[in-house]
């Protein structure tokens, strides 16, 4: 009977199977120094190569020639073809019926059936569901005169700002800040009293105001009344001299 062979140790088996020499040094071991010509060439390379920490100096702008200077882009001229709306002034149109992912697909924001879901289902603003609308419920009375001419009103008591013998017209009334505009007609009313004689020349005046101004020694001048030609009466034309 043959004797049993002894199994080699685990460390010896691994080293033998791999065929590599075990490492002599660990992590804390000193690095190997290059020797001979390799060390000399490495030292020469370190001296000749510039340091990576030093920054490359950029050429100054004054030293740059005009040929190498950057050419600025010309300013954009304002023309009809270059007009654009301001940022945020325009909004994109809502595109409906392009699927459910758009948020307005399927019924396109109109809902399911009903009057407002139809093609012509939108009713006007005054529509009240079929009941009598308010513009028909309210009574109608009178009319609006489209040919009314607004007058600027001045009372007789306000004419005390003028001195005796002074003229009262649109320009002087505006200078005294009694009216706002000089292109609108002025009417004087009889509220108050006047004690100085004034030369009043306005567009219209009430009867009581005229009596008070004339009683104080003043005068009232009104523009000539325009008379309209009756309908059916031909306009008189002057014949040229023969």
pLDDT per residue as tens digits for the range 101-152: 888 888 888 889 998 899 888 889 999 989 999 999 999 999 999 999 999 9
| pLDDT classification of 33: cutoffs 50, 70, 90 | low
> In angstroms, what CA-CA distances link 174 with 152, 191, 210, 213?
11, 20, 21, 20
pLDDT per residue as tens digits for the range 64-76: 455 555 666 667 7
The token duo for 82 is 């270059």
| pLDDT classification of 235: cutoffs 50, 70, 90 | confident
DSSP string covering 29-67, please? SPPPPP-THHHHHHHHHHHHSPPSSSPPPPPPTTTS-TT
Positions of E strands within 107-231: 152-155, 167-168, 186-189, 199-201, 204-205, 219-221
Whether residue 49 has pLDDT greater than 60 = no
CATH architecture, domain defined by 152-221: Ribosomal Protein L15; Chain: K; domain 2 (3.100)
Mean pLDDT over 192-205 rounds to 94
Report the predicted TM-score, pTM, of the whole model to 2 decimal places.
0.43
The token duo for 145 is 């005169």
Would you list the domain boundaries of the chain? Answer: 152-221
Whether residue 17 has pLDDT greater than 70 = no
């Amino acid at each position: 009977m043959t004797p049993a062979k002894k199994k080699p140790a685990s460390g010896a088996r691994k080293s033998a199977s791999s065929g590599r020499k075990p490492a002599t040094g660990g992590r804390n071991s000193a690095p190997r120094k290059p020797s001979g010509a390799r060390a000399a060439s490495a030292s020469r390379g370190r001296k000749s190569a510039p340091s990576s920490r030093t920054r490359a100096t950029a050429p100054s702008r004054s030293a740059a020639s005009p040929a190498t200077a950057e050419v600025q882009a010309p300013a954009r001229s304002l023309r009809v073809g270059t007009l654009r709306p301001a940022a945020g002034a325009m909004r994109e149109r809502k595109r409906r019926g392009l699927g459910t992912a758009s948020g307005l697909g399927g019924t396109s924001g109109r809902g399911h059936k009903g009057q407002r879901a139809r093609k012509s289902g939108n009713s006007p603003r005054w529509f009240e569901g079929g009941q009598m609308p308010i513009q028909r419920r309210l009574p109608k009375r009178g009319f609006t005169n489209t040919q009314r001419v607004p007058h600027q009103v001045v009372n007789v008591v306000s004419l005390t700002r003028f001195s005796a013998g002074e003229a009262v017209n649109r320009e002087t009334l505006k200078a005294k800040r009694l009216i706002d505009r000089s292109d609108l007609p002025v009417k004087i009313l009889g509220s108050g009293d006047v004690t100085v004689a004034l030369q009043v020349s306005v567009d219209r005046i009430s009867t009581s105001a005229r009596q008070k101004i004339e009683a104080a020694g003043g005068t009232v001048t009104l523009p000539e009344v325009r008379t309209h030609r009756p309908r059916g009466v031909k306009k008189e034309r002057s014949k040229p001299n023969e």
